[in-house]
Each structure stands twice: as structure tokens, then as C-alpha cells.
Structure 1
Amino acid sequence: MSVEDRWHHKGTRKRTKDYGRGKRWRVRNKGARTLSFYKKTDAQAHDIKVNAELLKGLKPFDHKAGYVLVSAVFPKWLKERYPDPASRRAVASRFKHHILPTFGHLRMCDITTAKVAEWWADMCEKTKPNGETYSTSTLELVYVHFGSFLRAAVTGTSKLIAVHPFDGWEVDVPRRDKRVRDIWEHDQVNTVIPAMPERDRPIGLVSATCGHRQGEAFAVALEDVNRFRKEITIRHQVKRINGKLTLTPPKGGKTRTVPFPDVTARAITEHVDTYGTLAVTCTCCPGKTWRIVFTNAKGDLIERGAWNEDVWHPAIESVGVTKGAANGMHNFRHYFASRLIEGSPNHRGASMEQVRDHMGHASIKTTSDTYGHLFEQARERARAVMDDVFSAVVYPLRTAEAQ
């Protein structure tokens, strides 16, 4: 037992100099903070709890760890959670305008459910300088970012707070409808790709047949291709960092391997035979060189904005597709997902877990939110197929006489 009586010397009734002052019962445990209690039963309960945690290898929660200010914790969390500078800037801006003005001056341990609820009520009524209310997208992102920040404070190595303030708090958070509705059909994809310049057609083909994001398609390297296993690994994207185009890990740092169709393999082989490759080092593998397949006319890495202006927009406009955010190259990726889900007459569609892995989503929820409705449509098509197959067949009912 680690409970000590501060008012009497150990094993005697002789009073100490602290007799009658402060909390009488003190609990000392090696590896845990020393605490004192007014009641012996409270001290004994705490001692049992701490010893049980120590036996499990857990570090007992230290309430003093939460005395640090939110404004001091935020920069470290931001850097660890968002290694990508662009994402970091966006999240920092939302914290600066919507979260830190309310919580930045508080200690982590002072963030309570009541304070969060009051802040959220104000946030939902908050308006921009022009008087407009904030969009559903902004509200959702602010809520998710703050929740992630607090979750890290609970589960991180520092363990700044014991309980997430959002837990047990019933709140109706606005949610964006992330479902992709207008997905290009095969005929449209097969019209846009030929409209692209010959040098750039394999870029669109890679995205439509393997699900690459635009920056990932620009970063395809010969080392990513496994012709024997008919697989291609997505491990990089082309991104501008500090004003310079470079190879960085894919979105969320999530490397993935997907099936590699023969038509795409042939297109890449022919492209390399004609235009060669570009040797580039990346930020994630110092000293390693990758032979990048796709380059611009000068033989350099492709820059997204210039490529869209010079290649993508003229191509889609030439086939009657309006230039705009809804008609970006990302449509090829949505097409790829829809083909995975629907399957073909000879191959059944992929499961939601397979789609998640092939698309490189951070969670199954992202897959469900974006493409869940397509799974419902695929099931409905399967039912319709069975109706068509068996509609001409009449099966007599079994009667008592026929049995």
C-alpha cells in the first residue's frame, strides 16, 4: 500500500509538524505523480487505480500536463498532422479565424464540453465581413479540424486532456453531400483522351484505368511499374514546394498498388520509347532517383496549372465539354471508381474495401461518402439483370396435388 498518513509518523500515533494542515492522506507510486486526499478511502481507490495502470504498462494521467496553452500546442500538432505545406496553410487559416480567437488563450485542461457547445453555437451564426453566413463546407471542416486537434490531445504521447470534449455531446453538424453524381460514361472518356495531344494521352489513360490523381499521374515512374505482376504502385505526386516542382508522397502519404491494364502498359512503353524519361530525386527517399515517364515539351516535370491551360482545356472544349471545376481531369478518377464498382459481364464488381484501397482513401467512410450510392445502383442493376434473364421463364406454383 502506497497510502501515507501525513499527520502521524509511520507506525505511531506521534503527530507530525503537518498535523491538522492540508490533505491528510498522501499517495506515492513510483512512475506516477504524488497526490494527496482528504479521505483515506479516496486515497486507497486512487492507489489501486494507479497500480493497475502501472501493471499494464500504462502511464497514469497527469493533470498538470494540460496546463499548457492551446496556442502553444497548436503549432506542433499542425506540423505533425499536416506535413504538406499547402494543407498546413489551409488548416492554420481556419484555426486562426475560427478556433484560436475563442480557445487560444485557454489552457488545454480548461476546454470543456460547455465551452465547446457555446463556441459552436456562435460559429453556426457567425457571418463573413460581407454579412454572408459561412458555408456548410467551412463549418464541417472547422468542426473536423478542432475535433482532430482535441483527439490528438487525448491519445497523443503527451496526453494533455483526459476526455475528448466532443464525447457525449449531441450536435447536428452540417455535412456536405460528397456523393459524385455526374460521372463520365465510357464513350465520353473515350472521346476526351483521343482529343488530347499524342504526348499527353497516356496521362489521361493512367488516370482512367488506374485511378491516379492528376499529380500522381504526372509522377509515374518506370520503377512504379511491375509488368510481371501487372501492377503499378502510386508512391509519388508532383507538387510545388517552396516554388519548386518536386516529387512528394501521395495525398495523406498513402502509397498504394493497383492493377495495371495491358492497354496502359503498352501506352507507357511506347511513350518512353519516343520521349525517354527524366531522372528525379524525391523528398521522401533521399539519394534515390526515379525515372519519371511524363514530362512537358521542355523535358521537365509537369506543372498542373500550365498543363491544364495548354492541354486539358483545349482537349475537352474541342469535344464540346465546358471548361470549369466540374470538368477537371479528376473525372477520369471518378470513372475508374465507377468501373470498379460496376464490374463487367465477366467480372464482378469490387467491394467497398477494394475500392478504398485502389483509390487510396484514408478511410472506408470516405469511400462510402463519395461512392456509396454507386454500390446501391450496382445492386439494383444486378437485380434487373436477374429479372431480364428469368422473365421469360414461367415456374408453376407447387400445389398440394403436385406434391
Structure 2
Amino acid sequence: MGHVEDRWFRTIEGPDGKDQRVKTDRHGVGLRYRVRYIAPDGNERSKSFPDRAKRAADEFLSGIETDKIRGDYVDPAKGKKPFDEFAGSWLLTHRFDESTRVGVRSRIRNHLVPFFGKRAVAAIQPSTVREWLSWLVGRGLADNTRVVLFAHLSGILTAAVDDGLIAKNPCSARSVVAPTPVLPKLVPWTVEMVTVVRAAVSLRYRPVVDVGAGCGARQGEIFGLAPGDFDFEDGWLTIRRQVKRVGSRLVFGLPKSDKERQVPLPPGVGVAVQAHLKRFGAHAVSLPWEDPVHGRQVTVPLVFTTLGRTAIRQQVAANQIWHPALKAAEIEVVRANGMHAMRHFYASALLDGGESVKAVSEWLGHSDPAFTLRVYAHLMPDSPRRARRILDALLGGDDGPETAQNRG
């Protein structure tokens, strides 16, 4: 057990044999009470308190002993680590692909470190997190940006719990209301819009529209396709990689969510891709895998390349392929009409046709079907009609529920 030491007084045996308290040489100087205890690692620890704080010292010792019994002990000295230092080490050791790491580093530098800075990790309380969230609102950051930043902070503080710097993650406190994402209601393109834009794209890149609208692939995934990814005979496309940017350099990497997936290959899309390969061929491109500095060099025969037979940068594709086609089709050049609109068209067409959310989610490469439902549920206009028809048949139509039950 630990004890509380009074450094201003000591007990000695008096002339009459009774104990008496006498002042020490430290009387009136510095912090009066020192809590001394043995930590779970076997080393002695201490914490000092000022005069008139005996109760606080006793309560601190009681809390330490309780935490030791429960297995919740946290070394107070570890919690003194500055937030910016711990966040930096977390960023280096947390598992990210390099393109993600670049974005996370930027967000931490711009929106976490300016607020928490050199503050000790253990000093970050639920009230501190609430103040930070208000500070973000004051900076005019969008709801979805605040959602991402909160996830970063919570991840950092969870690691602090795991490393024994703090006992609990203040982001998990009931008084902390996490930001909620705002999903805009998507307005999917019509078949006519897809057709007119496809016609406006140059012949060399027209199958990009086919694969986007017919297979739901992301732009980087389309630019990472190889002939071997297409099973033209059985009608499947395997999405194995994507071309993405890390800093200023292009790399190959796994698709989003870090897993390959198979999607049905419509016959018309297969024909368009085969015709493209016959006319333009595939060209070998070598890029690092994931990390532009340390990643191994990988060579892939790409279906879609630039005129110089290099991998296509998404920004270049937007400026030189997509935006001119939008203008030619007299469609507004805005974010909602980017190449990602083909992916939304794909999802909306399948859901409107009665395909299951689970299947669409799998083909889109979403990690959670619930996310697919949140994004695209409003694009299922036939759902109420189908529900009425199914329930009407189940309950017996004009005969009513009782008759239906009797039939069963």
C-alpha cells in the first residue's frame, strides 16, 4: 500500500516517551504532501500536493490503489506526453496506405495540432473535446469534414489508451456528441445523359464511360484495368488495382477498402472493351506499389493510357477528357457531374431494377451494405409499390388477413 507523507512535519519521540510532531527543515517551502506508492511495474511513483490539500492527496492515493486492483492503472507521468508528439508517432505507426496517410497528416497538421498542440494527452478531457468541436464549427468546416477529423482524434486517443497514457478515451464520453455525416441526395443521370456524354468523349476513351456506367468502377480503378481482368467469356470483371496519386506521384494500389472484387460484365461493355483493345492495344506501365519511395515497382499492361502510353492522372482525365465532353453535351461542369456520376448511375439503375442492396454494395466495393443503403435508398422509387404488392399478396388481397392466415 502507498502512503501520504507530510514533508513539513515529522514525528519523533518526546522526552516523556510520547510521539510529538516537529517542523522539518522544509516547513513552509514547496509542496507539502507527497503521495508515494508502488506501481504495477514494481517501481515507486510519487505525486506532490500543496498545503491544505491533504484530502486531495488521500483521494489520489485511494484512486491509484483502486485502479491497481481493477487493472485500470495509468502512469500519470506517461500522460504528460504532448499531444502533437503522440499524434506524430501514431501517424507513423498506424496502418494506412500512403495516399491516405498524406491526407491524414494534412488534416492533423491543420485542424488538430493548432488546437491541442503541446497540451498533455492526459489533460484532454471531454470538455476539451467539446471545445474543439465548437472551434471547428467556428472555422466554418463542413459537417463531413468534422466527421473525419473527429474519427482521427478518437483514433489517436484510443491508441493513447492502449499505450497506457490515459485510462479512457474522452471522445467516448456521453457528453461528447460526435458530428454526424450529411449525405446529399444524389440525382442520378438519365440514360440519355450517359448516352450524349459518351458520344462526346473521344473514341480512344469512350469505353471508360462504358466501364463506369456498366460496371460501377471508380475512376482510378478504370485507369488500373488490365486485359486479364476481363473474363469476356463468362462475363465477369475483376477489379484488382487502381491508379492513384500519392503526393505528386502516381502509384498502383489495391482498390478502396483494400480488397479485390468481381462484378458482372455486361456483354455490351465487353464488346466495347474488346474493340478498344483491338484498335489501341494495351500498354505496359511501371509504377511503385502504394508507396512512391519504398514501394516495389510493378508493371501492368493497362487498357487505358495517355497518348504517350503512360498511366492517366485523374485530374488530367477530368480536364482533357471529361469536362470537354460535358460542355459538348451542354451539361454543367460541376462536382456532381464528375466521372463518379457514372458510378451513381450504375447503382441507381440496379436498385431501380430491383437488385438487392447487398449485391449492389458488393459490386460497388462498399465495406458495409448499410452505407450503400444510406447513400442510395432514395433512388429506389419502386420500393413502396413493390412492398404494397408483396404485402397484398401475403395478406390475401381482397379477402383480408384472416383469409390469408386460413389459407396458410
Report what 1:130 is aligned to.
Answer: none
Higher deviation after alignment, 276-285 or 197-206:
276-285
Larger Rg, first or second structure (1 or 2):
2
Confirm whether residue 194 of structure 1 aligns to residue 199 of structure 2.
Answer: yes
The equivalent residue for 2:334 is 324
Task: Tell me, yes or no, if the aligned pair for 1:218 and 1:301 is still in contact at 8 Å.
Answer: yes
Pick from 272, 297, 322 the counterpart of residue 312 of structure 1: 322
Report the TM-score when normalising by structure 1: 0.73
Check whether the contact 2:285–2:302 (CA below 8 A) recurs between aligned residues: yes
Q: State the number of aligned residues.
A: 358
- Paired amino acid for 1:249: L
Q: Determine the structure 2 residue equivalent to 1:18.
A: none
Match of 1:295 in 2: 305
User: Aligned ranges for residues 342-357 of structure 1 at < 5 Å?
Assistant: 342-343=352-353, 348-351=354-357, 353-357=358-362
Aligned to 1:151: 158
Contact 1:256 1:360 (8 Å CA) reproduced: yes
Distance in 2 between residues matched to 1:44 and 1:68, nearest whole Å: 23
The equivalent of 1:339 in structure 2 is 349
Counterparts of residues 219-368 of structure 1 (less than 5 Å): 219-227=224-232, 230-284=235-289, 286=296, 288-343=298-353, 348-351=354-357, 353-368=358-373
Deviations, residues 96-132 of structure 1 (Å, cap 9, x unaligned): 34321231212222211122223333433x24xxxxx
Given candidates 350, 370, 374, the residue that maps to 1:369 is 374
76, 80, 83: which is aligned to 2:97? 83
1:49-198 matches, within 5 Å, as 49-50=70-71, 64-79=77-92, 80-85=94-99, 87-124=100-137, 126-127=138-139, 133-155=140-162, 158-172=163-177, 175-198=180-203
2:250, 2:287 within 8 Å by CA — same for their partners in 1? no
Aligned residue type for 1:350: S
The answer to whether the Cα contact below 8 Å between 1:222 and 1:290 also exists between their aligned partners in 2 is no
Alignment of 1:31-50 (within 5 A): 32=41, 49-50=70-71
* Alignment-mate amino acid for residue 167 of structure 1: S
AA aligned to 1:220 is L
Percent identity of equivalent pairs: 28
Following superposition, the deviation at residue 207 of structure 1 comes to 1.0
Distance 2:372 2:159 in 1: 24
The CA distance in 1 between the partners of 2:134 and 2:97, in whole Å, is 31
Partner residue in 2 for 1:216 = 221
Cα separation, partners in 2 of 1:357 and 1:161, compared to 1, 3 Å:
farther
Aligned AA (1:105) = K
More deviation in 103-112 or 218-227?
A: 218-227
Aligned-residue offset at 1:361: 2.7
For the 8 Å contact 1:341–1:349, the answer to whether it is kept is yes
Alpha carbons 1:26, 1:43 under 8 Å: kept: no
1:382 equivalenced with 2:386 (yes/no): yes
1:219-244: CA deviations, max 9, x gaps?
11123234465332223222234534
Where 1:240 maps in the other structure, the secondary structure is strand
| Alpha-carbon shift at residue 330 of structure 1 (Å) | 0.6
Q: CA deviation at 1:171?
A: 4.5
Q: Which amino acid aligns with 2:132?
A: W
Q: Tell me the CA shift for residue 293 of structure 1.
A: 0.7
Helix, strand or coil at the partner of 1:290 = strand
SS of equivalent to 1:74: helix
Q: CA deviation at 1:74?
A: 1.6
The range that moved more, 214-223 or 73-82, is 73-82
Q: What CA distance in whole angstroms lies between the structure 2 residues aligned with 1:258 and 1:193?
A: 21
Whether the 8 Å contact between 2:157 and 2:169 is mirrored in structure 1 is yes
Separation of aligned partners in 1, 2:129 and 2:207: 50
With structure 2 as the length reference, what TM-score do the two structures score?
Answer: 0.72
For structure 1, the 5+ residue unaligned runs are 6-20, 54-59, 128-132
Q: Structure 2 CA distance, aligned partners of 1:365 and 1:239?
A: 26
Alpha-carbon shift at residue 205 of structure 1 (Å) = 0.9
In structure 1, C-alpha distance between the alignment counterparts of 2:365 and 2:267, rounded to whole Å: 22
1:43 and 1:324 mapped to 2: Cα distance?
58
More strand by share: 2
Aligned residues of 2:283 and 2:303 also touching (Cα < 8 A): yes
The Cα of 1:203 is off from its aligned counterpart by 0.9
Q: d(CA) in 2 for partners of 1:143 and 1:302? A: 33
Deviates more, 1:192-201 or 1:139-148: 139-148
Offset, 1:46: 6.0
Q: 1:62 to 1:373 in 2, by over 3 A?
A: farther
- RMSD value, Cα: 4.0
The runs of 5 or more residues in structure 2 that have no matched partner are: 4-32, 47-57, 290-294, 404-408
Equivalence for 1:12: none
Q: Secondary structure at the match of 1:271?
A: helix
Distance 1:268 1:33 in 2: 68
